[in-house]
Amino acid sequence: MINFTEIKRSFFISLWFVFLTFPIMVIRVNSIEKTVQWRWINVVYILVGSFVLSMVFRYMLRRREMQSTDNGDEKGKSDQNIIHRWFTVPQYRNTIYGVLLALAIIFPLVFSTYQTSIMTTALLYVVLGLGLNIVVGLAGLLDLGYVAFYAVGAYTYALLHHFYGLGFWVALPVGGLLAAVFGILLGIPVLRLRGDYLAIVTLGFGEIIRLVLENWGEFSQGPSGVSNIPRPSLFGIDMSLDTALIYIYYLMILFVIVTIFFVNRMQDSRLGRAWIALREDEIACQAMGIDKMKTKLAAFSLGAFWAGIAGVIFAAKTTFVSPRSFTFMESAIILSIVVLGGMGSIIGVIIGAMVLILLPEYLRFLSEYRMLAFGAILVCMMVFRPQGIIASVRRTYTYKKQDSTEREVA
């Protein structure tokens, strides 16, 4: 695969990139002090980096070409490699879940409170990812304003406490339900739009919510946000900061389990099948008697519900909410998690959230490049592996005439 023409090609490409990135990467001006800084070393980085990357990129493009022409038949089977085997055979899968659960439970006992807090954040994104997965991964509705529902949940708790002194456990269902209501209200006018228009409208809606929260000071307390939000209590016992954080961690584990259970049940149901049919072919799906609007609204509002719940927990964990936490970037990050993990795959989303949230934390020196990496991941995943790390596996139904049905589910 590596021959001289390819090397020559990549060399010229790297020269192109040196030209392309020259003003931005090499030159830095200070117009006040009238100085110019030339960072020539970057030329070397770009030259080498883009040479290597272009070789890799073009190689993978060529491989992608060959794969698609070769085996149209084998495509379905080749996706099911050994890893999938682990996740689909019930005994293996349950063992993995069991091990993960055990690890999760002993985590705070082994690691510091700081680490636990980080893990809690990662778990929060797991819930968000699973919620968005219902909307994008299963039903195929690209919601770029998902963060708006997250904000609704968070601000519900913040303001219920600020104005009425209500506690966590009251705010939790209210936040979720309110977000679901917003989901339905937004969904009704918007869900009949075509895919890319839907994406932009939801993005617009997300931004509107954020801007309203920022500017409607009397209600939302404006850009400075709402603070002093209490953490969830355990039967009114006073807890130290450390204990409270660990308590939230365990609550989070519980919520993740509930969410996984919920998504699993939804996926493998009449509604779940309808979502997948909807994602595949809207017209055929309607022709088969599926009510498009009702099905879409169900996905949209359920996704919103989970975002709302996650929002309440977020507010409780950080004890402070401000509009700044709910930008479009957040929606993009959650989208990256779903895209990376695999649209429609629960395990994939979990892995995606862990990778995308934990890696920058543990590789501190890389955290600056986090958003850069997210962007690159979105592009690369779409080009090379749109089904995600773990492609969702279709279930096989075995029907035994005597006993009840047995199902193996991904």
Partner 1 sequence: MDYFIELLFSGLTRGSIYALIALGYTMVYGIIGLINFAHGEIYMIGAFTAFIVATILSILGFPALAIIVLAGLAAVIWSASYGYTIEKIAYKPLRHAPRLSPLISAIGMSMFLQNYVLLAQTSDFLPFPQLVPDFAFMEPVAHIVGSTDLVILVTTTVVMICLSVLIKYTKIGKAMRATSQDRTMAMLVGINVNRIISVTFIIGSSLAAIGGMLIASHIGQINFYIGFIAGIKAFTAAVLGGIGSIPGAVLGSVVLGLTESFATGYVSSDYEDVFAFSLLVLILIFKPAGILGKVDTQKV
Partner 2 sequence: MEKPILHVSGLTMDFGGIRALNNLDLDVKEGEIVALIGPNGAGKTTFFNCVTGIYKPTKGEINIYNKHKDKDISLLGMKPNQVTEQGLARTFQNIRLFSQMTVLENVMIGRHCRTRSFIIGALLRDKRTMREEEEIIEKSHEILTKIGLRKYENEFAKNLPYGAQRRLEIARALATEPVLLLLDEPAAGMNPQETIELVNLIQEIASEGQSILLIEHDMKLVMSLSERIFVMDYGKKIAQGTPEEIRNNPAVIKAYLGEEVDA
Which one among 152, 203, 285, 410 touches partner 1, defined by CB under 8 A? 203
Question: Stretches 80-88, 91-99, 280-288, 347-355: which one binds partner 2 (CB under 8 A)?
Answer: 280-288
x-marked contacts with partner 2 along 57-96 as a string, rule CB under 8 A:
---------------xx--x--------------------
x-marked contacts with partner 1 along 20-49 as a string, rule CB under 8 A:
xx-xxx-xxx-xx-x-x-----x-------
- Phi, psi (degrees; rounded to nearest 5) at 393: -95, 135
For the chain, helix (H) and strand (E) counts, in that order, are: 18, 6
Indicate whether 66 belongs to the interface with partner 1 (CB under 8 A): no
Q: With respect to partner 2, which residue has the nearer C-beta, 278 or 350?
A: 278
Q: What is 38-79 written as a DSSP string?
A: E-THHHHHHHHHHHHHHHHHHHHHHHHHHHHHH-TTTHHHHT
By CB under 8 A, the count of residues binding partner 2 is 34
Q: With respect to partner 2, which residue has the nearer C-beta, 298 or 353?
A: 298
- Give the SS3 label for residue 32: coil
Restricted to residues 213-272, the positions that interact with partner 2 (CB under 8 A) are 262, 265-266, 269-272
Residue with tokens 């075995």: 398
Q: Are strands 35-38 and 320-321 parallel, antiparallel or unpaired?
A: unpaired
Sign, Cα dihedral of 375, 380, 386, 387? negative
β-bridge partners, 234: 237
Beta-carbon contacts of residue 256 (< 8 Å; ≥ 6 apart) = 123, 126, 127
Residue 406 site contact among partner 1, partner 2, none (CB < 5 to 8 Å, cut-off depends on kind) = none
Task: Please name which of 218, 219, 232 lies closest in space to residue 315, comparing C-alpha atoms.
Answer: 232
Indicate whether 138 belongs to the interface with partner 2 (CB under 8 A): no
The CB-of-184 to partner 2 minimum distance in angstroms stands at 13
Distances (CA, A) of 82 to 160, 385, 387: 49, 17, 17
Which one among 76, 90, 173, 386 touches partner 1, defined by CB under 8 A? 386
Indicate whether 194 belongs to the interface with partner 2 (CB under 8 A): no
- CB burial string 265-280: b at 16+ within 10 A, e below: ebbbeebbebbbbbbe
Indicate whether 390 belongs to the interface with partner 2 (CB under 8 A): no
Residue 271 site contact among partner 2, partner 1, none (CB < 5 to 8 Å, cut-off depends on kind) = partner 2
Which one among 292, 328, 361, 370 touches partner 2, defined by CB under 8 A? 292
Q: With respect to partner 1, which residue has the nearer C-beta, 122 or 335?
A: 335
Q: Are strands 406-408 and 396-398 parallel, antiparallel or unpaired?
A: antiparallel
289 Rama class: left (phi>0) / alpha (psi -120 to 50) / beta: left
Q: With respect to partner 2, which residue has the nearer C-beta, 354 or 391?
A: 391
- Phi, psi (degrees; rounded to nearest 5) at 206: -60, -45
Indicate whether 356 belongs to the interface with partner 1 (CB under 8 A): no
Question: Stretches 74-82, 250-258, 333-341, 397-405: which one binds partner 1 (CB under 8 A)?
Answer: 333-341
Distances (CA, A) of 281 to 82, 128, 194, 236, 287: 30, 26, 12, 52, 10
Chain contacts with partner 2 (rule: CB under 8 A):
72-73, 76, 262, 265-266, 269-274, 276-277, 280-281, 283-292, 298, 302, 394, 396-397, 399, 404-405
Chain contacts with partner 1 (rule: CB under 8 A):
16-17, 19-21, 23-25, 27-29, 31-32, 34, 36, 42, 57, 61, 64, 140, 142, 144, 189-190, 193-197, 199-201, 203-205, 207-208, 211-212, 215, 283, 328-329, 332, 335-336, 339, 368-369, 371-372, 374-379, 382-383, 386
